[in-house]
Amino acid sequence: MDVWFVGNRSALFWLALKSGFWTVLTLGFYRFWMKTRLRRWYWSAIRPGGHPLEYVGDPWEKLLGFFIAVVILTFYIGIVNLLLMFASFSLFQSSVLGYSASVVGVIPIWFYAQYRARRYVLARTRWRGVRFGLEKGAWGYAWRALTHWLVTICSLGLLWPRMTFYLEKYKTDRTLFGSGRLKQGGRWVMLYRAAIPFAVAMMFAGGLVVWLIWIDPLLPDGDAEFDEILNGIGLAADVGIIPFTWERPLRLFLFIPAMIAMVYGAVHYRFVSKRILADHKHAQGVQMRSRLNGLRISVIYVLGTTIAYTILLFGILGVLGVAAALLGFDAMIEAQIGTADPLGDLPQWLSIAIIAALYLSVFLFWSVLHHVFVTFPLMRHMAITLSLNNVAGLSQISQRARDEFAEAEGFAEALDLGAAI
């Protein structure tokens, strides 16, 4: 059974632009409706065997869940952080430990919110009338994620595929389609082949460092230590003065292709690992197969992101130009500290309102372009390269009860995790 994708880019552009406009106009409150409408569009465009997916989430659920999460997080930030800072000052006469403990304390909630957001999205997704679902287990996922991250950091990243596999297995083995339960097969070592481009890029960058510092150093006379070299690079970037006699400094440009290769390798691993994992997912005898192309995905991701962020950069520069024209450069700086009136003919409140509207419009347009040039082609490629084998097992699947949510994906919204689209 092949998966079809029937959406077109122009319809998505106008939907994202219109819903984004209302989000800006309502100071962000409409974003729960915007996300719901965009998900319904994407879901209906994906059609396994010609039958569209359905997204039945309610924006009021999202809004209520966001308020619940904000209340809980406010209690954490206001009470727990106060206790941590009090203990830090009382016991160690310093705030560093208190701030560190506060940041570390948010990390489990971050992983908890990730799992809860996925559970909500699956619970509000249907295909041929049958509901998806994800079993409870957010705190179990949170402590497993913390453990795997600690192991990965201690291994200097060498066990990253192990973390990817086991965290995905934890979520997949608790995923349901009606009465059918998904299973993640395979072994974690199979993901190493997805990491080959990134590993090669890292070795190339490491080889450049060894070559430029020890084998054929940029400073052959050894008249500076490594930290002085870094300070010299910073000085050259700031004021254009190179304090050392460099030996063939153009070799530093070799780091540009090294960085490009690392970006490609990271994107390649992220999506090709999904393809490998998808090939080992099964439920009720139904087997997934993915023909995802790592190179094409990387080109889509890098090119689309470049287009979106380039427009964002030029938009911000344009807003700064308008701000300078309305306020004047000196007044614009002084206005930040409230010591000057704007130099333009317009009233100050109107000038600030125009600048704020333009600023929000730039980010609105960036969001629209990100949907059009990144999210849309990625979802289309991932959909049309996916297929289901041995679909006779689908006839054995029955409906499951609706999964109710008190806070929906509110924690993911409050912590700005994106929560998928």
Q: Which two tokens mark 74?
A: 């406010």
Q: What is the pLDDT of residue 343?
A: 46
Q: pLDDT digit of tens for each residue in the chain (421 aa)? A: 999 999 899 999 999 999 999 988 888 889 899 999 999 999 999 999 999 999 999 898 888 888 878 887 777 777 777 777 777 777 777 667 777 777 777 888 889 888 988 999 999 999 999 999 999 999 999 999 999 999 999 999 999 999 999 999 999 999 999 999 999 999 999 999 999 999 999 999 999 989 888 888 776 655 555 565 566 666 555 555 555 566 777 888 899 999 999 999 999 999 999 999 999 999 988 999 999 999 999 999 989 999 999 999 999 898 888 877 776 655 555 555 555 444 455 677 777 788 888 888 888 889 999 999 999 999 999 999 999 998 888 888 999 988 877 666 766 776 665 544 6
Q: For the whole model, what pTM was predicted?
A: 0.85
The first and second tokens of residue 115, run together, are 């799992």
DSSP reduced 3-state for 127: strand
| Helix runs in 30-126, H state only | 31-45, 59-75, 81-92, 96-123
What pLDDT score does 363 carry?
87
For the chain, what are the domain ranges? 1-55+292-384, 62-184+396-421, 187-279
Indicate the residue type of 25: L
At which residue do the structure tokens 């998505």 appear?
Answer: 12
Q: Is 401 exposed, middle or buried (0-12, 13-18, 19+ CB in 10 A)?
A: exposed
- Residues 6+ positions from 271 with CB-CB distance below 8 Å: 292, 294, 297, 298, 301, 382
Report CA 147 to chain centroid distance, whole Å. Answer: 21
3-state secondary structure of 315: helix
